[in-house]
Chain A
Amino acid sequence: MYCATLAMHSIQPGLLANLVQTPTLSSSNPHRLPSTVAREDEHLLVAAAKGGDAAAFEELVNRYERKIFRLTMNITRNREDAEDAMQDAFMKAYSHLDKFHEDSRFYTWLVRIAANEALMRLRKRRPNQISLDEPIETDDDFIPQQIEDWGPSPEQRFAQTEMRDILRGVIEELTPDFRIVFVLRDVEGLSTEETAEAVGISEAAVKSRLLRARLKLRQKLDRHFRKGVKQ
């Protein structure tokens, strides 16, 4: 409702704080959203934040904090680094709001900042284990060897907590270069172009790594889901 109200007014600092239902940082309503959805009013919050409305920026933090932490955790696999990367990402976003062009999504811009922060920390911690700048092209390591039916739906065969443990264990086995592309594309819902920009590789490399990441994950899940492994 307040979208329509705001659309009729030029946004003044403070106005949004009076209209948004949760104008200050709040832990009770984490605003969980599907990855591919940015709320329609995002640009209004950004415009208000740019105009100096701190509450509007805090609302953006509320909205995306979980998703950004999930992203930095998925990249770094280290809680301390993930937290630092998330904090720095939000602080940089606030400091550089004037440089944000509103023809793109704020969330995508924020993800790029957070991915860069997380990647910097990952590179520092594991300088020899990732090669994010050059495509990794080998043809021999992802062709499935043996395909077998997984039987009845794995989602119904495994309890939710058990499924989470399996998925978490399997994705941790992926090397960072594959994991990052998979997380940005398939978990966070970025486009190929946005992922390429965030990671600093070509779109062709994104597609190549995504193919391999998906097939590797399928192969690893096969150990758990293959018919007969669990009744």
Chain B
Amino acid sequence: MNCDGVVRRISNYIDGDLEVSVVEEIELHLKTCRECTILVQQTKLTVTLYRDSDLVDFPKEVQLRLHETVRREIRRQKRAT
């Protein structure tokens, strides 16, 4: 497998979503290709950074309005039944 082949499969490789024989081909390539090895590491790190970072604040007022809306909806439906 060449670099282009690795790049096209990198996402499935990270997710463990490839046939064993394809994984072996990729790992054989990685043994001799520094650039692809770095690319795999950096792509994995990219996913990890986003997965582990909470980038959105949940403002108190948004939470309070949601609770109020949910309670109102529950009351409304209980009345309707």
Chain A residues within 8 Å of B, Cβ to Cβ: 25, 27, 30, 35, 54, 57-58, 61, 65-66, 69-70, 73-74, 79, 83, 86-87, 90-91, 94-95, 142-144, 147-150, 154-155, 163-164, 167-168, 171, 182, 186-187, 189, 207, 210-211, 214-215, 217-218, 221-222, 225
Contact = CB atoms under 8 A, between A and B. Distances in A.
Contacts of B70: 25, 57-58, 61, 87, 90-91, 94
Contacts of B67: 25, 27, 58, 61
B77 A95 contact: yes
Range class of the B interface residue count:
35 or more
B47 A143 contact: no
B58 A215 contact: no
Nearest to B59: A79
Contact of A210 (B8, B11, B35, B49): B11
Contacts, number: 122
Contact of A171 (B36, B51, B55, B62): B55
Contact of B63 (A27, A94, A167, A221): A27
B66 A144 contact: no
A211 B12 CA distance: 8
Interface in B22-38: 35-36, 38
Looking at chain A's contact residues, the main secondary structure is helix
Interface in B1-50: 4, 7-8, 10-12, 14, 17, 35-36, 38-39, 42-43, 45-47, 49-50
A214 B39 contact: no
A217 B64 contact: no
B7 A215 contact: yes
Nearest to B61: A83
Across the A-B interface, the 10 shortest Cβ-Cβ residue pairs: A211-B11, A70-B56, A147-B35, A25-B67, A73-B56, A218-B46, A66-B58, A168-B55, A54-B74, A91-B73
